[in-house]
């Protein structure tokens, strides 16, 4: 009996290196957004973010989780990076959330036509073999001018290069360390679109900084992780412009938001699907790679739509009567 009692106590008390991922909650984003000295148009139906419940398990909890189709039990290393550890996991996830909010602000303001990014040129991260840039440009070079027109950010370089056609020769002013040089490169045709020019480099802004037109805060409470990025971005676009982004429907979204407007995978989609369904959501925007998993756990009353970019999300919402394809732009944008 003592042995049995000890086994029961161990099964219910001692933590094992596994985590249980269970359904969390679906929360409206709009109460979390505070705008200072800027436009604010609270929508009738806000975008919802969704969470999962994450808990390190005992033996008994792991067994219960394996028997519950709405719970995933995974090894600790799937959740906890080796250089973080269990004790610092919460702080790590809160840092990911802070980064997610910053990206959402940048992408939303850009979408509304604001020039928020500043920098010291377009830094070359990689050069494609066999491309026009091969042997002419090198990683860590910074393009500071295209045809004598100044380049402060990677977006400037992309815009100026994109104004050309395949076969055009462009003049690039390049800085490497303290050395400055000018090179001429003949652009090729982009293999995915023969009408678009190709230089053959991967760019990012050198020494980036961001300046927003007015102050916007997102109070994420104690929610961690990067998966609310898409939901934050959509809600920012909604509250900063007139009209209804969701078309008056109850919409949830999950996915990371990257600075190029792409939406990344998040994990826990099965549990998030259960959470948004319980909240009465009718449309759930999910990273394309995770749609099949979400649909397995959705009832016929919940529509699941795949997204790879912010523009995908806006097009889908426009199909539901939203105004995402006609967002009010910043004064002077596009002039």
Dist. CA 50–CA 18, nearest whole Å? 22
Q: What is the pLDDT of residue 16?
A: 72
Q: Is 129 exposed, middle or buried (0-12, 13-18, 19+ CB in 10 A)?
A: exposed
Q: What is the pLDDT of residue 69?
A: 78
Dist. CA 272–CA 53, nearest whole Å? 10
Q: Are 156 and 190 in contact (CB under 8 A)?
A: no
Q: Is the pTM of this model over 0.85?
A: no
Q: What is the pLDDT of residue 12?
A: 52
Alpha carbon 2 to its chain centroid, in Å, reads 53
Per-residue pLDDT of the chain (335 residues; tens, 9 = 90+): 544 434 444 445 557 778 888 999 999 999 999 999 999 999 989 999 999 988 888 877 777 767 777 787 878 777 767 666 666 878 888 888 999 999 999 999 999 999 898 999 999 999 999 999 999 999 999 999 999 999 999 989 998 999 999 999 999 999 999 999 999 999 999 988 889 999 999 999 999 999 999 999 999 877 888 999 999 999 999 999 999 999 989 999 999 999 889 999 998 999 999 999 999 999 999 999 999 999 999 999 999 999 999 999 999 999 999 999 999 887 766 43
Dist. CA 113–CA 14, nearest whole Å? 54
Domains of the chain listed by start with CATH number: 18-114+212-319 (3.30.230.10), 117-209 (2.30.42.10)
Alpha carbon 13 to its chain centroid, in Å, reads 38
Give bridge partners of residue 284 from the DSSP assignment: 252, 304
Q: Are 180 and 173 in contact (CB under 8 A)?
A: yes
Dist. CA 129–CA 91, nearest whole Å? 41
Q: Are 75 and 280 in contact (CB under 8 A)?
A: no
Q: What is the pLDDT of residue 257?
A: 94
The DSSP output letter for 41 is: -
DSSP assignment of 294-329, as one string? Answer: HHHT--TTSEEEEESBHHHHHHHHHHTT--TTSPPP
Per-residue CA distances from 279 to 170, 274, 306 (Å): 55, 9, 20
Dist. CA 263–CA 255, nearest whole Å? 6
- Least Cα distance to 251 among 276, 215, 225, 278 occurs for 276
- Least Cα distance to 38 among 244, 212, 259 occurs for 212
Q: Are 47 and 317 in contact (CB under 8 A)?
A: no
Q: Is 49 exposed, middle or buried (0-12, 13-18, 19+ CB in 10 A)?
A: buried
Q: What is the pLDDT of residue 10?
A: 45
> What sign has the CA pseudo-torsion 137, 110, 312, 70?
positive
Dist. CA 148–CA 156, nearest whole Å? 12
């Amino acid at each position: 009996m003592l042995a049995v009692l000890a086994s029961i106590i161990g099964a219910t008390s001692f933590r094992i290196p596994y985590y249980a991922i269970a359904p969390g909650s679906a929360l409206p984003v709009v109460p979390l957004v505070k705008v200072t000295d800027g436009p604010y148009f609270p929508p009738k139906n806000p975008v919802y973010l969704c969470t999962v419940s994450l808990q390190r398990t005992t033996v008994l909890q792991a067994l219960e989780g394996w028997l519950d189709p709405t719970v995933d039990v995974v090894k600790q290393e799937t959740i906890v990076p080796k250089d973080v550890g269990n004790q610092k996991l919460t702080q790590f996830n809160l840092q990911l959330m802070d980064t997610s909010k910053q990206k959402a602000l940048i992408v939303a303001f850009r979408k509304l036509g604001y020039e928020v990014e500043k920098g010291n040129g377009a830094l070359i991260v990689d050069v494609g073999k066999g491309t026009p840039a091969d042997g002419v440009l090198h990683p860590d070079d910074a393009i500071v001018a295209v045809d004598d027109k100044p380049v402060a950010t990677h977006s400037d370089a992309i815009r100026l290069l994109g104004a050309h056609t395949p076969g055009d020769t462009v003049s690039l002013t390049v800085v490497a360390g303290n050395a400055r040089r000018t090179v001429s490169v003949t652009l090729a045709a982009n293999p995915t679109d023969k009408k678009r020019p190709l230089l053959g480099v991967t760019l990012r802004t050198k020494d980036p900084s961001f300046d927003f037109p007015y102050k916007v805060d997102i109070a994420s409470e104690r929610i961690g992780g990067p998966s609310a990025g898409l939901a934050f971005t959509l809600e920012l676009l909604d509250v900063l412009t007139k009209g209804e982004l969701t078309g008056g429907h109850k919409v949830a979204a999950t996915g990371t938001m990257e600075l190029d407007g792409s939406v990344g995978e998040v994990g826990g989609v099965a549990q998030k699907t259960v959470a948004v369904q319980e909240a009465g959501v009718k449309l759930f925007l999910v990273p394309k790679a995770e749609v099949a998993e979400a649909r397995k756990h959705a009832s016929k009353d919940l529509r699941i739509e795949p997204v790879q970019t912010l523009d995908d999300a806006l097009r889908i919402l426009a199909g539901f009567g939203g105004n995402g394809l006609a967002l009010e732009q910043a004064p002077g944008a596009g002039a």
